[in-house]
Amino acid sequence: MLESSGAKKIALFIDCENISYKLCDEIMKRLDEVGEVCIKKAYGDWRKDMLGPWAEVLLQYSIEPIQILTGARDSTHKAKNASDIRLTIDVMHTLYQRSMDCFALATSDSDFASLAQEIRRWAVPAIGFGSYKAREELKQAFSSYDELDTPITLANNKALIKLLRRAIEDTQDAQSFAFVSTIGNWIKQHYYKSASSYGKESWGDVFKQICQENNSEFEIHYQGERKNIMKVRIKRSSH
């Protein structure tokens, strides 16, 4: 849900040659929870039959299709280069305008790693969406990279555990506890993520699932008259 005020302005660029149209619903859902997607562009050679299923998705979300014409319909390499170049030009043009708070790239193509790094050099968050099979150099280039097609358990998601530990360390009190609501706000502000990025309705559900799968990472405590206020801390080593 968008906040009533102060919503982050997001620009979304989709590399349709390297991501499935089936993932678009989830991408839009996650972005809508952290801000307003003001710019939505999708790149590809729409003459190709393989991109046909994108038509309905583009209409549903009012995404602007950018047609890449190379004069070489059967040349995958040339078409790919043309698409990559056009997407990069549009990203940089938008970046120079300094009108967006965040950039999102939907791609599993490691060629875009340098573009993500350039966005971050401008002190602007860069969110990536794609496959868990994407190369690690691409994932690390983004401020955060959401793997949309992986069945990995939360407790084994090293990037998630690292993110939660960092959030706790930055928001904890004198007893090393942090309120889950505060953690959620911190993650949203710094990494543009919500609990839905991990298939859960709330960060409390994320922590509970992690502790069910592996009880060695975090301690959960409740307070308040109804014991409905959750706080957590990093589990102390027994050594």
Asked if the model's pLDDT at residue 237 lies above 80, the reply is no
> Given pLDDT bands bounded at 50, 70 and 90, which one contains residue 194?
confident
Asked if the model's pLDDT at residue 215 lies above 50, the reply is yes
Please report whether residue 107 resides in a domain.
Answer: yes
Write down the pLDDT at residue 147. 87
Closest by CA to 47, choosing from 19, 89, 88, 75, is: 75
Asked if the model's pLDDT at residue 151 lies above 80, the reply is no
Average pLDDT over residues 208-228: 89
CATH classification of the domain holding 190: 3.30.420.610
Domain final residue pick, 147, 182, 213:
147
Average pLDDT over residues 3-18: 81
Q: How many CB atoms lie within 10 A of CB 217?
A: 17
Mean pLDDT over all residues of the chain?
Answer: 88
CATH classification of the domain holding 139: 3.40.50.1010
Average pLDDT over residues 117-131: 95
My answer on whether 223 and 203 are in the same domain is yes
Secondary structure percentages of the chain, helix, strand, coil, to 5: 45, 20, 35
Q: How many CB atoms lie within 10 A of CB 3?
A: 11
My answer on whether 105 and 195 are in the same domain is no
My answer on whether 37 and 105 are in the same domain is yes
Amino acid residing at 6: G
> Given pLDDT bands bounded at 50, 70 and 90, which one contains residue 154?
confident
Write down the pLDDT at residue 3. 39
Distance of alpha carbon 37 from alpha carbon 12, whole angstroms = 7
What is the token pair recorded at 114?
């340098």
Domain count, the chain: 2
Distance of alpha carbon 90 from alpha carbon 109, whole angstroms = 17
Higher pLDDT: 129 or 199? It is 129
My answer on whether 137 and 168 are in the same domain is no
What pTM value is reported for the model? 0.71
Please report whether residue 100 resides in a domain.
Answer: yes
Please report whether residue 171 resides in a domain.
Answer: yes
Bridge partners for 43 per DSSP: 15, 66
My answer on whether 40 and 101 are in the same domain is yes
Q: How many CB atoms lie within 10 A of CB 166?
A: 15
Please report whether residue 239 resides in a domain.
Answer: no
My answer on whether 107 and 52 are in the same domain is yes
Asked if the model's pLDDT at residue 152 lies above 70, the reply is no
Secondary structure of 23-51 in the HEC alphabet? HHHHHHHHHHCCEEEEEEEEEECCCCHHH
Of the listed ranges 86-95, 132-141, 174-183, the one predicted with least confidence: 132-141
Write down the pLDDT at residue 72. 53
Domain final residue pick, 122, 147, 172:
147
My answer on whether 120 and 12 are in the same domain is yes
DSSP label at residue 143: S
Closest by CA to 61, choosing from 99, 31, 103, is: 31
What is the token pair recorded at 20?
């499935």
Tell me: the pLDDT tens digits for 133-145?
899 999 999 999 9
Provide the domain limits for residue 183.
154-234
> Given pLDDT bands bounded at 50, 70 and 90, which one contains residue 180?
very high
Please report whether residue 2 resides in a domain.
Answer: no
Please report whether residue 3 resides in a domain.
Answer: no
Distance of alpha carbon 117 from alpha carbon 215, whole angstroms = 35
Please report whether residue 117 resides in a domain.
Answer: yes
Domain final residue pick, 83, 117, 147:
147
Distance of alpha carbon 95 from alpha carbon 76, whole angstroms = 28
Tell me: the pLDDT tens digits for 40-73?
999 999 888 889 999 999 999 999 999 987 665 5
Report yes or no: 47 and 74 within 8 Å, Cβ to Cβ: no
Write down the pLDDT at residue 71. 60
My answer on whether 86 and 142 are in the same domain is yes
Asked if the model's pLDDT at residue 74 lies above 60, the reply is no
Closest by CA to 191, choosing from 3, 8, 1, 2, is: 8
